[in-house]
Amino acid sequence: MKKKYLTVACVVFIAGITHAQKLFSTKTGQISFYAGTPLEDVRAINNETDSKMLQKNGQIIFSVLVKGFVFANALMQDHFNENYMESTKFPKADFKGFITNINAVDFDKDGIYNISAGGDLTIHGITQKVNLNGTLEVKGDNIILLSKFKIALKDFDVTGNYIGTKIAPEVEITVNCKYE
């Protein structure tokens, strides 16, 4: 009898920890951007985005190595790192924020939920407050976050000769992260 109690207590104890507060995380999230113009197809992709999200309050972070963005054109990638993003000086870009309507997401029920988030976006060493919209798809134990938003390069002090001609002054950023 005693043994049974112990076992039950143990299971409840373990379950209590693991279930109520879930931390979703990924190290292989995808962030891509497009800053192209009719003159030049400027786009790059990074498949090593580090992101974590807390279920209880919607706290969410993204962190990405600027050098990890891959371009089709190697010379463009070089210019991106050396001239525009100064990736040796500012190796990381990140976002710290909260999903404001996390309560609208039912993590026990599969489906696609519209979400919005607010927080601090840091690129090129400059931090700006941003509000973003996207969707959160619950699929069993996994969740998939999609978001598309635009930022202005001048807000992050990214300058260069070709911004406005070959490079669009506004960059469209796409986030596609599958959490476990």
- Residue numbers of the site for another protein (CB under 8 A)? 2-3, 6-7, 10, 13-14, 17-18, 21-23, 32, 40, 43, 45, 47, 52-54, 56, 59-61, 63, 65, 67, 70-76, 78-79, 81-83, 86, 88-89, 91-92, 94, 96, 160-162, 166, 174
Contacts for 173 with CB less than 8 Å, ≥ 6 apart: 31, 32, 33, 148, 149, 150, 151
**Residue with smaller CB distance to another protein, 116 or 166:** 166
Q: Are 144 and 177 in contact (CB under 8 A)?
A: yes
User: How far apart (Å, rounded) are the C-alpha atoms in residues 38 and 165?
Assistant: 9
At closest approach, how far in Å is the CB of 54 from another protein?
6
Q: 17 or 140, CB closer to another protein?
A: 17
**Rounded-to-integer distance, Cα 154 and Cα 97, Å:** 22
Amino acid residing at 97: G
Between 52 and 178, name the residue whose CB sits nearer to another protein.
52
Q: Which is nearer to another protein, 5 or 140 (CB)?
A: 5
Secondary structure (3-state) at 155: helix
